[in-house]
Every structure is written in C-alpha cells, then in structure tokens.
Amino acid sequence: MIKRTLKNAFFTGVVLLASAVAHAQGFKVESVAMKLMDPIDRMSPDWFTMLGECVDDIELASQHPKTASDPKMYYYYGLTYLSVYREGSEEQKAKYPDALSKASNALFKCIELDEKNKYTEKAQAQLLDCAIGHFNMGVNYYNQKEYKKALESYASVLKIIPLDKDGELKRRNISQETIYQYSYYAARANEDNATAKKYIQQLMDQNFSDPRIYIDMASILLSEKDTANALKYIAKGKEIAPDNVDLMNTELDIYLKQGKSAELTKKLTEAIEANPDNKVYYFARAISYEKLGETDKAEKDYKSAIEIDEAYADAYYNLGVIYVNRCKPIADEIDKTYDDKKLLALENQIDELYKKAADQFELALDYGNYEAAAETELKGTLKRIYARLMQNNEGYRKKYNEIKADLGE
C-alpha cells in the first residue's frame, strides 16, 4: 500500500514537473513579448542585455514540444531576430549574421500555423520590414560583388512581395518588376545565364517597358552562340520600341558580324520604298551605311529622317558625330604638312566641319531628352568645339562662356 502511494506520488510529481516546464516555456514567450513590445525598454541602457535575454528565452521556447508549434512563439521568435537585425549591438549583429533570414522564416511559419488568425496580420506587417531589409542587403551585396548572396536576398524579397496589399513596398520602389530587374543584373554579373534569362523572361511576360531587357537577352544568347534567337528578341524589342537606337545598333552589329550588311541595307531600302515617310527606316539605314564607312549616304539618310521629323534629336546628334569624325583625316594631313598656305586651307576645312557639327549638337540639345550624364557629355563636346572655333571667330566666345557657365565651370 505504501509502495503504491509512493509510486503514485512519484508519477504525480513527474506530471507536475512537466507541466511546470511547459508553463515555464510559455512564460518565456510572455517575457519576450513584454520586453519587445515596450518602447521604453528599447531606449533603456540595458536594452542590449534584454535583447540577449530575449534571444536565449525564445530559443529555449522554440525547442520545447509544448511551444515549438505555437504561432505566438514563432511571431515573437521572428520579432526577436528582426530586433537583432535592426537594433542589436554590433556584437549581436556579428553573432547572428543570419538574423534577418531567421526572422523572415519564423514569421512565415507563424502565418502557416495561425489557424485562428491571431497573429497573421501582425506577422505580415513585420515581414514587410523584413523585405526592406532583404532589399537593402541585396543592394549592398551587389555593390560588394557578392552576386550570389545578392540573388538570395532578392529571392527573399520576392517571397514577401505578395503580402504587400496596401502598396507599402511599392511606395519605396520595391516591386516585383524592380526585383526581377535587379536579380537579372546580379545573375549576369555572376555569369549565371540561366538565372538571368529566367528573370528577363519574367519581365517580358509582365510587359516591362524598358527595351534594354531585349538587348540584354540578345547579348546573353549571342554569348551562347544562339544568333537566330538573339535576332528574334531584338525584333520583339523593336515591336514595343521601334525608335530605340540601341536596339537598332545591336541588330546592325549582329548583321555586320554575320557579314550580312548588304542584305540589311537591301531590306531597309525595300522598307523605305514601301513606307517613305517612316523616319526610323532612314535612321537605321544611315547607321548601316556608317558601319560600312559610307558616310555620305549616311549623311543623306539622316537628313531625310530630319525632313520627316524636324525634332529628331538622335539624327541631329549622329550627323554631328559624322562631321567631327571627318576632321580626323584632315588633322592627320596637317601633321604631315609644312606648307603654310595648305595648312591654312586644311585648318579652314576643320573649322567648317566643326561649325556644322556644332549646329547639329545644338539642335540635338534643344530637341533631345537626355539623362544628366549624357547631357553633360554633349555640352562638354560643344564647349571644346566652341573653344576651337572662337580662336578664329569671336562670335563663338559668347556661346563658349554660356555653356561653360551652364556646366558650372
């Protein structure tokens, strides 16, 4: 009788002990919650110590059978490591370099287990903060040339983006399109063609408007010796951006490398005959002629394109380049000439070409919509031309001073 009583007492003690341990784990979760949810604690000089205690407590709770499947535990597990990532000491951040990933994984697990939706909304809100962190880490990894890690960070952002119901991430310029774009940049830099093509194709499937993606896809395919498909993607790009100069140049380069320059010129001539009012065909044929060294024909086609559209900035710019390039053989001849009369004639030829180039570049500036760097470069070119011309023509001094002031010099 006594043995049975002792035995019962023993088992009762074990049950009570197990219950106490389970209760202790639940208490640890509550303790973490109180520390993390009180903003005053975060300003306390003991904050880092408390955050360390939160890590210890939540790790113990995550390993106990009674709390290992509790959505509340996972919510505070995620919040603990998100706090380490955002507000931990340098030592804590170094100790837990994967704090942000641990936070994201825990918050997703919380949502998965939260059948009663007690913590789902709060977990989703915290995940948006995680997405911003992953995005910033991805950019930093890319700048540090750790392209594989950048891709992993961007993949984490993509997983969270569907939760952005109110467009919070979008307002921060973190969208699916942006991440696809950054991901293919990282993949290309990492020489991972398969991944780069995957993300470029996803952009195309979403009708992404930047024609650069078609050029980059073609470039990858050319590196894989798949010229036929490269040309197909260039053709697709021209469907959405028929006036894009880079697409034209890429297509022309491919044809020229294939030795099909005559065939290309013939196709463009046929296109012009069928549609003589299409400036793009003249522009493309002009580029083709330039590649072949037939600058007289190129000059004529650029002028034809301008007759159709007097605001065609790219045509003005390319004309200016033709006139500048014509100066080089004259300059070479000057270096070999010692006859003063002939030297003066050659110098006058260069001046005339520079005047024509300046006229074209000025029109390109007037009509063009250039990015800041390209506009600065063009203005710098004009400044150098004006500096040359004002040596023999004071009328250009005013233009030189104006553009110098415009460049902030």
pLDDT on residue 27: 62
pLDDT on residue 298: 95
Q: How confident is the model at residue 39 (pLDDT cuts 50, 70, 90)?
A: low
Return the closest-CA partner of residue 280 out of 221, 317, 250, 238. Answer: 238
pLDDT on residue 55: 94
Tokens of 237: 């790009």
pLDDT on residue 41: 58
Return the closest-CA partner of residue 287 out of 274, 297, 272, 275. Answer: 297
Return the closest-CA partner of residue 87 out of 128, 55, 57, 119. Answer: 55
Mean pLDDT of 170-181: 94
DSSP 292: T
**Residues whose CB is less than 8 angstroms from the CB of residue 331 and which lie 6 or more positions away in sequence, other chains included:** 350
Q: Is residue 33 helix, strand or coil?
A: helix
Tokens of 230: 């490269």
Contact (Cβ atoms closer than 8 angstroms) between residue 261 and residue 255 = yes
* Rounded (to 5) percent helix, strand, coil in the chain: 80, 0, 20
Lowest mean pLDDT among 42-46, 49-53, 126-130, 214-218: 42-46
User: Where are the domains positioned within the chain?
Assistant: 16-118, 310-409
Query: Residue with structure tokens 């942000």?
Result: 100
Q: How confident is the model at residue 43 (pLDDT cuts 50, 70, 90)?
A: low
Tokens of 369: 């919509």
Interval 89-113: pLDDT, tens: 999 999 999 999 999 999 999 999 9
Return the closest-CA partner of residue 186 out of 174, 196, 172, 176. Answer: 196
Tokens of 112: 């998965």
89/335 Cα distance (integer angstroms) = 67
75/352 Cα distance (integer angstroms) = 75
Interval 14-32: pLDDT, tens: 443 344 444 455 567 888 8
pLDDT reading at 82 higher than 80 = yes
pLDDT on residue 7: 45
Interval 213-270: pLDDT, tens: 999 999 999 999 999 999 999 999 988 888 787 888 788 788 877 877 777 888 889 8
Contact (Cβ atoms closer than 8 angstroms) between residue 161 and residue 179 = yes
pLDDT reading at 9 higher than 50 = no
pLDDT on residue 222: 92
Return the closest-CA partner of residue 81 out of 112, 119, 43, 52. Answer: 52
368/382 Cα distance (integer angstroms) = 15
pLDDT reading at 11 higher than 50 = no
pLDDT-above-70 percentage for the chain: 92
Tokens of 106: 């825990």
Contact (Cβ atoms closer than 8 angstroms) between residue 326 and residue 295 = yes
pLDDT reading at 150 higher than 90 = yes
Exposure string of 362-380, with b = 16+ CB inside 10 Å and e = fewer, is bbbbebbeeeeeeeeebbe
Phi/psi-derived region of residue 233, left when phi > 0, alpha when psi is between -120 and 50, beta in every other case? alpha
**What separation, in Å, do the N-terminal and C-terminal C-alpha atoms of the chain show?**
105
Contact (Cβ atoms closer than 8 angstroms) between residue 31 and residue 57 = yes
Task: Work out the mean pLDDT of the chain and round it to a whole number.
Answer: 88
pLDDT reading at 209 higher than 80 = yes
Query: Residue with structure tokens 């973190």?
Result: 174
Mean pLDDT of 188-194: 95
Mean pLDDT of 158-182: 94
pLDDT on residue 265: 85
Interval 289-326: pLDDT, tens: 988 889 999 999 999 999 999 999 999 999 999 999 99
Contact (Cβ atoms closer than 8 angstroms) between residue 242 and residue 280 = yes
Tokens of 85: 């990532």
pLDDT on residue 185: 96
Tokens of 217: 């896809």
